[in-house]
Amino acid sequence: MTTLSLPSYIDPAHTGPWGMFLEQLDRVAPHLGPLAEWLDTLRHPKRCLVVDVPVRMDDGRIRHFEGFRVQHNLSRGPGKGGVRFHPDVTLSEVMALSAWMTVKNAAVNLPFGGAKGGVRVDPKTLSTPELERLTRRYTSEIGTLIGPDRDIPAPDVNTNEQIMAWMMDTYSINQGSTQTGVVTGKPVSMGGSLGRRDATGRGCFVVAREALKRLGRPLTGARVAIQGFGNVGNAAARIFHDAGAKIVAIQDVAGTLHHPGGIDPHALLRFLDGDPRRLTAYPEAGVIDNADFWSTDCEILLPAALEHQITADNAPRIRAKLIVEGANGPTTPQAEDILDAAGCTVLPDVLANAGGVTVSYFEWVQNASSFFWTEKDIHDRLDRILSEAFQAIWELAAARRVNLRTATYIMACSRVLQARAQRGLYP
């Protein structure tokens, strides 16, 4: 008998990130009342596109890469979500990330649906010209889906302002006119927004600050352990440090730094000089085993890397009393049960890391109006939106006697499903 080999992006058992999202929906279903009738809407992405991305390499060879763009739900507005370049990208992962964007946008009441994209590639193995050719071909392949009023990509893991500039230029060339609003996270010189680069990390800080107030814990002197020192992690580290917190551990691809007296993230960034592989050579902190990161003595743990990092295996070791999910999907449902039982408060990704998409919304609005705001305007508006969203979710959690993730899902899913019900079904 011949065994058929399924494509790498198929996950029929839903064992990956998409399965994790489905379990989160199952947990919120009993709290949705009559709207639960529509919950299957969120169990089925509206549209999944898998594309071949052929690229001519510098040596003349042609390599093929798998690309994805998923629009999970568009009931509340155009799709919104980042694009990641990573060798482990799968359709299951992109589906889950797009679904979390649906929940995230609704949780903070942005007029967007959820979408996400990715290319299965290790960008560190490509030259700059190869990376540009890959980005432009991927953009052209998904061009039938994206647009300023249809689906607006943004940076994510291993993508940045330059990638967004190439995407905007490619889309604009194909449209025959400059379309600045097709992506967010662009360079400021091309219509990007001030404050966008640090927005996700800043949003983590805002919701953590609000949670500490309700928990009666001080921010000044609070010990913080951060996993991931990319855009999100290093921005969060700098903002927490500047507010008086103490960064006691930082983990990244090269290893884990630890210093009970505190690590200055500004000094660490200067030392790294753009090369994260130098992390463990930093002379002002010690190096510990990666597994020991989870048992670091701290008040706040901030996972800002990839999904599925806090599991049933390491959750019992965590000593933090507040977890701030800077990454998407870092905590499995089983791990969260363990943390809940231990009295640890988890600020879910769909609230904690919503700063990035909130400032992306600001950028989209500024592009549409051709009127740009000051960085102070950006920070003030971001603070207000996230603080108000946190307050509403905190009160809902108390009223329903559920944790913050369930409360966030109740609020977000209710908004999405109400819109779906009111729009009705097209025959």
Work out the average pLDDT over 288-302: 96
pLDDT, averaged across the chain: 94
Q: Evaluate if residue 128 carries a pLDDT over 60.
A: yes
| Percentage above 70 pLDDT, the chain | 96
In this predicted structure, the answer to whether residue 4 has a pLDDT above a threshold of 80 is: no
- Average pLDDT value for residue range 82-101: 96
> What is the per-residue pLDDT across 30-57, written as a single tens digit (0 to 9) for each?
999 999 999 999 999 999 999 999 999 9
Q: What pLDDT score was predicted for residue 3?
A: 37
Cα dist. 94→115, 120, 161, 266 in Å?
8, 11, 21, 33
Q: What is the pLDDT of residue 275?
A: 87
The string over 109-139, giving b where at least 16 C-beta atoms fall within 10 Å of a residue's C-beta and e elsewhere, is ebebbbbbbbbbbebeebeeebbbbbbbbbb
Question: Angle, to 10 degrees, between the axis of helix 91-107 and the axis of helix 404-423?
Answer: 90
pLDDT band at 15 (very low <50, low <70, confident <90, very high): low
pLDDT for res 427: 82
Architecture of the domain delimited by 199-349 = 3-Layer(aba) Sandwich (3.40)
Q: Output DSSP code: residue 299.
A: S
Residues forming the active site: 116
Rounded-to-integer distance, Cα 282 and Cα 280, Å = 5
Residue written as token pair 């901030």: 302
In the predicted structure, residue 74 carries a pLDDT above the cut 80: yes
Characterise 287 by phi-psi region: left (phi > 0), alpha (psi -120 to 50), beta (else).
Answer: beta
pLDDT on residue 307:
84
Let me know if the fold of 34-180 is the same as that of 199-349: yes
Are 140 and 172 in contact by the 8 Å Cβ rule? The answer is no
We find that the CATH architecture of domain 34-180 is 3-Layer(aba) Sandwich (3.40)
Question: In angstroms, rounded to a whole number, what is the distance separating the alpha carbons of residues 113 and 151?
Answer: 9
CA dist., res. 10 & res. 6, Å (int): 7
Q: How confident is the model at residue 385 (pLDDT cuts 50, 70, 90)?
A: very high
Supply φ then ψ for residue 270, to 5 degrees.
Answer: -65, -40
Q: What is the pLDDT of residues 224-235, one digit of tens each?
A: 999 999 989 999
Domain boundaries, the chain: 34-180, 199-349
Is residue 353 within 8 A of residue 214, CB to CB? The reply is no
Q: Quick one: pLDDT band at residue 277, thresholds 50, 70, 90?
A: confident
| Mean pLDDT value across residues 294-321 | 94
Residue 115: pLDDT over 50: yes
Per-residue pLDDT at 216: 96
